[in-house]
Amino acid sequence: MTLQHPYIPATEAEELEMLEAIGVQSFEELIKIIPSDLRMAGDLGLSAGLSEMEVIGELSKLAATNYPSSSGICFLGGGSYDHFVPEAVRAITQRSEFYTAYTPYQAEVSQGTLQAMYEFQSMICELSGLDVANASLYDGASAAAEACSMALSITGRTKILLPETIRPETRSVIETYLRNRSSELVTIASIDGLIDRADLAAKSVDAAAVLIQSPNVLGLVEDWAGAREALATDDTVLIADADPLTLGLQESPGAAGADIYVGEGQSLGIPLSYGGPYLGLMAAKEKYVRRLPGRIAGRTVDQDGQTGFVMVLRTREQDIRREKATSNICTNQGLMALWAAVYLSLLGKEGLRSLARLCFNKSQYLGRAIADLPGYELPFGFGYAKEFTVRPPVLAEDIRAEAECEGFLIGLVEWQGEKLLQLAVTEKRTRAELNRLVEFLGGFA
C-alpha cells in the first residue's frame, strides 16, 4: 500500500524509494506502530478525486451561492464596515515578499517583516495616544478579552465590568476567555443607549477593569473621560475599545485617561471577506508593557551603528512554558497588520480625519432624513459617528427582507427585547444611494 495523495508531488516509485530509505516496505508497515483499535477501518467516506478543472468548477458553483456586499448597496455594520480599499494597498501587500513572510525568529533575515511590525505599532500608538502597542492580535473581540485578562493580572482582582452597550460578540468572546479564570463579569446598566455613570461608580469598587466600547453596539459615542471620573478607584483599569477610523473624530483613548486601547482593525483598509481574517489592535501605557500579549518589535542599532529591528520583551514561555506566559497568543495577524499599516501610511493624518468626517457627515444626513419620515424614530438621537439605529413603523425584519429584494443590505440589532434597523454609512455611499434608501423606507410610512 502506498500513499495516494495527488497533491504531493511524488510518483509511486518515488514514494517506494522514500519508504525503502527509512527501512520499511510499505506505508502500512510505517504506521503499524499505531494500535489497530485506534486506527480507522475502511475508507473515509470521501468521494472519488476530481481533476483540477472539475474542482475549480465545483468551487465556482459554491462561490456563486454567496451574496457579496458588492452585489447590493451595503449599509451593514456591527463591527465590519464596507470601506473603500485603494488598489495600491492590494498591490503592495500582495507582493510575494510580504505575502509569504513568516515568523521573524531570526532578525538578521527578517528585517523587512520586523520593520513593518514596528511601523504598524508606531501608528497604533499615535492613533490611541498610548505608549506601546503590540504587533496585532487575531481580531477585535480577542483583543478585548486579552485586555480583560491583562487587568486581572495587573490588579490581582477578579471583577470585570462590561456595559450592556458592548457588542454581544465581544461579550461572548470575553466570557469564553475568562470562563476558567475565577473571574466575575458584572454588567453596567445604560441610560438612553449610553453607560449609566452612577451604576458604573457603584459597581466599580474593587473592580479590576471596565471595558467601554465607543462607538457602542448602537453606534453611539461613549465618554471615556467621564467614565474615568466615575470610577470609584484610580487603579481600576479603563479599557477603551474603538473603531480606529472613528478615532479621527474622538479624543484619543490615552488623552481620555484609558490604560489600554483595543479595537477591530478591519476598517483600516481590510475587505469584509465574509467575516475574516480581521485584525486585533492593542496599545497600553508603558508600565504595562511586560503584560502585553503577543509580539512587540523594537528598533535598535547594530555594532556598526546601522538601524535594525528585533523582537523585544517577548518571553519564550509564549511558546514553550504556557503556565508562565502572559497569554496563549504567540503569533499575530501579520499580513492584516501590514495591510493596515500600508492603508494608514497612504491615508495620512489628515486623510484619516477627512475620512472620519465624511462618514460622520453622510451618516448624519441619512439619519436626519429618515427621522423626518412619518412613523420613523432614531430612539437614541444623533450622537453617533457612522452607524445608527432606527425604530421603524413596521417590523424591522420585514423591512430588511424587502430591502434585500430592492438591492439594499441593511442590518438589525436587538436592544432590550426590541429589534431595530441598524444602518452604517461609509465613504462609499453616494448621496443618490442615500436618497434612494430614504425613498424606499418612506414606502413603509
How far apart CA 377 and CA 373 sit, in angstroms, is 8
Quick count: other Cβ atoms within 10 Å of Cβ 403?
20
The single-letter DSSP state of residue 164 is T
* Distance from the first to the final alpha carbon of the chain: 71
pLDDT score for 314:
67
pLDDT score for 268:
96
> Does residue 224 contact residue 238 with C-beta atoms inside 8 Å?
yes
Please, what are the domains in the chain? 12-55 (no CATH), 69-84+349-442 (3.90.1150.10), 87-343 (3.40.640.10)
The percent of residues above 90 in pLDDT, for the chain, comes to: 73
The mean-pLDDT minimum among 40-44, 49-53, 112-116, 414-418 falls in 40-44
* Residue 302 confidence (pLDDT) above 90: no
* Residue 378 confidence (pLDDT) above 80: yes
pLDDT score for 1:
39
The single-letter DSSP state of residue 171 is H
* Residue 171 confidence (pLDDT) above 90: yes
Q: How far is CA 21 from the centre of its chain?
A: 48
Q: Which residues contact 312 (CB under 8 A, 6 or more apart)?
A: 296, 297, 298
Task: Please state the pTM of the whole predicted model.
Answer: 0.88
Nearest C-alpha neighbor of 163 from the set 223, 206, 108 = 223
Strand partners, 421: 390, 412
pLDDT score for 2:
44
3-state DSSP assignment of residue 102: coil
The mean-pLDDT minimum among 171-185, 317-331, 413-427 falls in 317-331
The three grid cell numbers given for residue 351, joined into one nine-digit string: 486623510
Mean pLDDT of 130-137: 95
How far apart CA 307 and CA 298 sit, in angstroms, is 11
Buried-exposed string 94-128: b where 16+ CB fall within 10 A, e elsewhere: eeeebeebeebeebeebeebbbbbbbbbebbbbbb
How far apart CA 249 and CA 267 sit, in angstroms, is 15
